[in-house]
Amino acid sequence: MNKLLIATLSIGALSLGAANAADLRAPVKAPAPVAIAPACAQFGGFYVGVHGGYGYYRHDYADRGNIAQTIDADLPSSANIADGSWLAGGQIGWNWQRNCTVFGFEADWSWSGMKAGETFFDGDAGTQDTLSIESKLRWFGTARTRAGIVVDNLLVYVTGGFAYANFKRSLTLFEDAPATTAVISSNHTRWGWTAGFGTEWAWSGNWSIKSEVLYMRYVNSDVSVTGATINGINFGVPGRGYTFGNQDEVWITRLGLNYRFGGGRF
Protein backbone atom coordinates (compact mmCIF):
# COMPACT_ATOMS: atom_id res chain seq x y z
CA MET A 1 0.00 0.00 0.00
CA ASN A 2 2.79 2.41 0.86
CA LYS A 3 4.56 1.63 -2.36
CA LEU A 4 1.34 2.33 -4.33
CA LEU A 5 0.84 5.69 -2.57
CA ILE A 6 4.45 6.75 -3.21
CA ALA A 7 4.16 5.83 -6.89
CA THR A 8 0.91 7.79 -7.28
CA LEU A 9 2.39 10.93 -5.69
CA SER A 10 5.48 10.71 -7.87
CA ILE A 11 3.46 10.50 -11.06
CA GLY A 12 1.36 13.53 -10.00
CA ALA A 13 4.46 15.60 -9.23
CA LEU A 14 6.03 14.75 -12.57
CA SER A 15 2.80 15.71 -14.41
CA LEU A 16 2.61 19.08 -12.59
CA GLY A 17 6.23 19.87 -13.35
CA ALA A 18 5.77 19.05 -17.02
CA ALA A 19 2.72 21.30 -17.22
CA ASN A 20 4.59 24.21 -15.61
CA ALA A 21 7.50 23.72 -17.96
CA ALA A 22 5.14 23.82 -20.94
CA ASP A 23 3.60 27.05 -19.64
CA LEU A 24 7.03 28.62 -19.31
CA ARG A 25 7.96 27.70 -22.87
CA ALA A 26 4.69 29.08 -24.35
CA PRO A 27 4.93 32.74 -25.61
CA VAL A 28 3.12 35.31 -23.49
CA LYS A 29 0.84 37.61 -25.56
CA ALA A 30 0.33 41.27 -24.55
CA PRO A 31 -3.30 42.33 -24.05
CA ALA A 32 -4.93 43.87 -27.10
CA PRO A 33 -4.87 47.71 -27.04
CA VAL A 34 -8.13 49.31 -26.03
CA ALA A 35 -9.28 52.26 -28.13
CA ILE A 36 -9.84 55.34 -25.97
CA ALA A 37 -12.54 57.67 -27.21
CA PRO A 38 -11.64 61.40 -27.33
CA ALA A 39 -12.63 63.22 -24.16
CA CYS A 40 -14.18 66.07 -26.17
CA ALA A 41 -15.04 67.19 -29.68
CA GLN A 42 -12.31 68.51 -31.95
CA PHE A 43 -12.43 72.12 -33.19
CA GLY A 44 -8.87 72.45 -34.54
CA GLY A 45 -8.17 73.63 -38.07
CA PHE A 46 -9.29 76.21 -40.61
CA TYR A 47 -12.97 77.07 -40.91
CA VAL A 48 -15.36 79.35 -42.83
CA GLY A 49 -18.94 80.27 -42.09
CA VAL A 50 -21.89 82.64 -42.27
CA HIS A 51 -23.88 84.45 -39.59
CA GLY A 52 -26.91 86.63 -38.97
CA GLY A 53 -28.31 88.46 -35.99
CA TYR A 54 -29.39 91.68 -34.35
CA GLY A 55 -27.52 94.77 -33.21
CA TYR A 56 -28.27 97.64 -30.83
CA TYR A 57 -26.52 100.85 -31.92
CA ARG A 58 -26.02 103.94 -29.73
CA HIS A 59 -24.75 107.26 -31.09
CA ASP A 60 -23.65 110.16 -28.85
CA TYR A 61 -23.67 113.57 -30.52
CA ALA A 62 -21.98 116.70 -29.15
CA ASP A 63 -22.16 120.19 -30.70
CA ARG A 64 -18.98 121.54 -29.10
CA GLY A 65 -19.29 125.01 -30.51
CA ASN A 66 -23.06 125.29 -29.91
CA ILE A 67 -23.52 126.07 -33.56
CA ALA A 68 -27.16 124.93 -33.58
CA GLN A 69 -27.90 127.61 -30.99
CA THR A 70 -27.13 130.25 -33.61
CA ILE A 71 -30.41 129.11 -35.21
CA ASP A 72 -32.41 128.78 -31.99
CA ALA A 73 -31.23 128.70 -28.37
CA ASP A 74 -33.71 125.90 -27.57
CA LEU A 75 -32.07 123.39 -29.92
CA PRO A 76 -29.85 120.87 -28.05
CA SER A 77 -26.07 120.96 -28.02
CA SER A 78 -25.81 117.21 -27.27
CA ALA A 79 -27.93 114.10 -27.69
CA ASN A 80 -27.87 110.35 -27.09
CA ILE A 81 -29.83 108.42 -29.72
CA ALA A 82 -30.12 104.67 -30.25
CA ASP A 83 -31.91 102.04 -32.29
CA GLY A 84 -31.51 98.41 -33.34
CA SER A 85 -31.67 96.43 -36.55
CA TRP A 86 -30.45 93.35 -38.42
CA LEU A 87 -26.95 92.27 -39.45
CA ALA A 88 -25.60 89.49 -41.69
CA GLY A 89 -22.19 88.42 -42.95
CA GLY A 90 -19.45 85.83 -42.89
CA GLN A 91 -16.36 84.75 -40.95
CA ILE A 92 -13.10 82.82 -41.35
CA GLY A 93 -10.79 81.51 -38.65
CA TRP A 94 -8.22 79.02 -37.42
CA ASN A 95 -8.18 77.06 -34.16
CA TRP A 96 -5.36 75.26 -32.35
CA GLN A 97 -6.56 72.57 -29.96
CA ARG A 98 -4.62 70.73 -27.23
CA ASN A 99 -6.68 68.13 -25.41
CA CYS A 100 -9.86 70.08 -24.59
CA THR A 101 -8.36 73.58 -24.70
CA VAL A 102 -8.82 75.76 -27.80
CA PHE A 103 -7.01 78.93 -28.87
CA GLY A 104 -7.81 80.59 -32.18
CA PHE A 105 -8.14 83.64 -34.40
CA GLU A 106 -11.26 84.84 -36.23
CA ALA A 107 -12.04 87.67 -38.66
CA ASP A 108 -15.56 88.63 -39.76
CA TRP A 109 -17.43 91.20 -41.81
CA SER A 110 -21.12 92.18 -41.66
CA TRP A 111 -23.68 94.27 -43.49
CA SER A 112 -25.86 96.27 -41.15
CA GLY A 113 -29.21 98.02 -41.16
CA MET A 114 -28.52 99.83 -37.88
CA LYS A 115 -29.38 103.52 -37.85
CA ALA A 116 -29.72 106.02 -35.00
CA GLY A 117 -31.65 109.20 -35.73
CA GLU A 118 -33.87 111.80 -34.14
CA THR A 119 -35.33 115.26 -34.86
CA PHE A 120 -35.39 117.97 -32.17
CA PHE A 121 -37.72 120.99 -32.17
CA ASP A 122 -37.38 124.43 -30.63
CA GLY A 123 -40.76 124.17 -28.87
CA ASP A 124 -42.28 127.31 -30.38
CA ALA A 125 -45.87 127.36 -31.61
CA GLY A 126 -46.52 126.81 -35.30
CA THR A 127 -43.64 126.06 -37.67
CA GLN A 128 -40.49 125.39 -35.67
CA ASP A 129 -36.75 125.43 -36.13
CA THR A 130 -35.43 121.87 -36.07
CA LEU A 131 -32.21 119.91 -35.70
CA SER A 132 -32.15 116.42 -37.24
CA ILE A 133 -29.34 113.98 -36.46
CA GLU A 134 -28.84 110.69 -38.29
CA SER A 135 -25.95 108.19 -38.13
CA LYS A 136 -25.99 104.96 -40.13
CA LEU A 137 -23.76 101.99 -39.30
CA ARG A 138 -23.49 100.67 -42.86
CA TRP A 139 -21.05 97.79 -42.27
CA PHE A 140 -18.54 96.60 -39.68
CA GLY A 141 -15.96 93.92 -39.04
CA THR A 142 -13.71 92.51 -36.33
CA ALA A 143 -10.37 90.70 -36.01
CA ARG A 144 -10.24 88.77 -32.73
CA THR A 145 -8.51 86.06 -30.74
CA ARG A 146 -10.57 83.32 -29.08
CA ALA A 147 -9.77 81.10 -26.11
CA GLY A 148 -11.97 78.45 -24.55
CA ILE A 149 -12.56 74.93 -23.35
CA VAL A 150 -14.55 72.07 -24.84
CA VAL A 151 -17.03 70.20 -22.68
CA ASP A 152 -18.24 67.08 -24.51
CA ASN A 153 -19.19 68.63 -27.90
CA LEU A 154 -19.62 72.25 -26.77
CA LEU A 155 -16.91 74.91 -27.03
CA VAL A 156 -17.29 77.79 -24.54
CA TYR A 157 -15.01 80.77 -25.26
CA VAL A 158 -14.16 84.40 -24.63
CA THR A 159 -12.99 86.69 -27.41
CA GLY A 160 -11.57 90.17 -27.99
CA GLY A 161 -9.64 92.30 -30.45
CA PHE A 162 -10.02 95.08 -33.04
CA ALA A 163 -13.21 96.44 -34.59
CA TYR A 164 -13.82 98.71 -37.57
CA ALA A 165 -16.96 100.17 -39.11
CA ASN A 166 -18.27 102.62 -41.68
CA PHE A 167 -20.54 105.44 -40.49
CA LYS A 168 -22.56 107.72 -42.74
CA ARG A 169 -23.82 110.78 -40.86
CA SER A 170 -25.94 113.82 -41.57
CA LEU A 171 -26.81 116.90 -39.53
CA THR A 172 -29.77 118.87 -40.87
CA LEU A 173 -30.77 122.32 -39.61
CA PHE A 174 -34.08 123.86 -40.61
CA GLU A 175 -34.95 127.52 -39.97
CA ASP A 176 -38.61 128.44 -40.27
CA ALA A 177 -38.25 132.14 -41.17
CA PRO A 178 -37.35 132.24 -43.91
CA ALA A 179 -37.83 128.50 -44.57
CA THR A 180 -34.29 127.30 -45.31
CA THR A 181 -32.42 124.03 -44.82
CA ALA A 182 -28.72 123.32 -44.40
CA VAL A 183 -27.11 119.84 -44.31
CA ILE A 184 -23.68 118.84 -43.00
CA SER A 185 -22.73 115.26 -43.90
CA SER A 186 -19.78 112.90 -43.54
CA ASN A 187 -18.79 109.33 -44.38
CA HIS A 188 -15.96 107.78 -42.35
CA THR A 189 -14.50 104.37 -41.45
CA ARG A 190 -13.52 104.26 -37.78
CA TRP A 191 -11.43 101.87 -35.67
CA GLY A 192 -12.22 100.59 -32.20
CA TRP A 193 -12.11 97.54 -29.95
CA THR A 194 -14.41 94.64 -29.18
CA ALA A 195 -14.90 91.98 -26.49
CA GLY A 196 -17.43 89.25 -25.87
CA PHE A 197 -18.16 85.59 -25.36
CA GLY A 198 -19.79 82.71 -27.19
CA THR A 199 -20.43 79.01 -27.63
CA GLU A 200 -19.94 76.64 -30.55
CA TRP A 201 -21.67 73.27 -30.80
CA ALA A 202 -20.17 70.39 -32.79
CA TRP A 203 -23.29 69.51 -34.72
CA SER A 204 -22.58 66.95 -37.48
CA GLY A 205 -19.39 65.89 -39.24
CA ASN A 206 -17.24 68.99 -39.61
CA TRP A 207 -20.21 71.35 -39.18
CA SER A 208 -20.76 73.45 -36.07
CA ILE A 209 -23.30 76.03 -34.91
CA LYS A 210 -22.13 79.11 -32.99
CA SER A 211 -23.80 81.78 -30.90
CA GLU A 212 -22.01 84.97 -29.88
CA VAL A 213 -22.43 88.27 -28.06
CA LEU A 214 -20.04 91.16 -28.77
CA TYR A 215 -19.64 94.73 -27.54
CA MET A 216 -17.89 97.21 -29.87
CA ARG A 217 -16.76 100.75 -29.14
CA TYR A 218 -15.20 103.08 -31.69
CA VAL A 219 -12.88 106.05 -31.35
CA ASN A 220 -14.49 109.46 -31.30
CA SER A 221 -15.18 110.85 -34.77
CA ASP A 222 -15.02 114.65 -35.10
CA VAL A 223 -16.51 116.62 -37.96
CA SER A 224 -15.37 120.22 -38.33
CA VAL A 225 -17.07 123.06 -40.20
CA THR A 226 -16.38 126.75 -40.60
CA GLY A 227 -18.92 129.39 -39.63
CA ALA A 228 -20.66 130.63 -42.77
CA THR A 229 -24.01 131.19 -44.39
CA ILE A 230 -25.29 127.91 -45.88
CA ASN A 231 -28.54 128.04 -47.84
CA GLY A 232 -29.43 131.24 -46.05
CA ILE A 233 -28.74 129.91 -42.52
CA ASN A 234 -26.02 131.68 -40.53
CA PHE A 235 -23.73 129.15 -38.83
CA GLY A 236 -21.93 130.85 -35.98
CA VAL A 237 -19.23 133.45 -36.51
CA PRO A 238 -18.04 133.63 -40.15
CA GLY A 239 -14.57 132.08 -40.48
CA ARG A 240 -14.63 130.45 -37.04
CA GLY A 241 -14.19 126.65 -36.78
CA TYR A 242 -16.85 124.48 -35.11
CA THR A 243 -16.62 120.79 -34.20
CA PHE A 244 -19.25 118.06 -33.88
CA GLY A 245 -18.22 115.07 -31.79
CA ASN A 246 -19.56 111.58 -32.55
CA GLN A 247 -19.11 108.60 -30.25
CA ASP A 248 -20.44 105.17 -31.27
CA GLU A 249 -20.96 101.86 -29.47
CA VAL A 250 -22.72 98.66 -30.49
CA TRP A 251 -24.03 95.49 -28.86
CA ILE A 252 -24.64 92.55 -31.20
CA THR A 253 -25.93 89.02 -30.80
CA ARG A 254 -25.71 86.56 -33.66
CA LEU A 255 -25.98 82.92 -34.73
CA GLY A 256 -23.58 81.34 -37.20
CA LEU A 257 -22.82 78.15 -39.12
CA ASN A 258 -19.20 77.01 -39.59
CA TYR A 259 -17.54 74.31 -41.70
CA ARG A 260 -14.11 73.15 -40.56
CA PHE A 261 -11.36 71.76 -42.81
CA GLY A 262 -8.83 69.27 -41.40
CA GLY A 263 -7.64 68.85 -37.86
CA GLY A 264 -9.57 65.59 -37.37
CA ARG A 265 -13.28 64.94 -37.41
CA PHE A 266 -15.75 65.53 -34.62
| Domain presence at residue 29 | no
Q: Is residue 132 part of a domain?
A: yes
What is the domain range of residue 116?
43-261
DSSP codes, the chain:
-HHHHHHHHHHHHHHHHHHHHHHHHSPPPPPPPPPPPPSS----EEEEEEEEEEEEEEEEEEETT-GGGGT-TTS-SEEEEEEEEEEEEEEEEEEEEETTEEEEEEEEEEEEEEEEEEEEE---SSS--EEEEEEEEEEEEEEEEEEEEEETTEEEEEEEEEEEEEEEEEEEEEEETTEEEEEEEEEEEEEEEEEEEEEEEEEETTEEEEEEEEEEEEEEEEEEEE--EETTEE-SSTT-EEEEEEEEEEEEEEEEEEEEESS---
Domain of 238, CATH number, reads 2.40.160.20
183 assigned to some structural domain: yes
pTM over 0.95: no
Tens digit of pLDDT for each residue in 205-232?
889 999 999 999 999 988 877 766 666 6
In a domain, 35, yes or no: no
- Residue 121 in any domain: the answer is yes
Is 168 part of a structural domain of the chain?
yes
- Tens digits of residue pLDDT in 117-158: 999 998 787 778 899 999 999 999 999 999 999 999 999 999
Q: How many domains does the chain fold into?
A: 1
On whether residue 54 sits in a domain, the answer given is yes
Give a yes or no: residue 226 inside a domain. Answer: yes
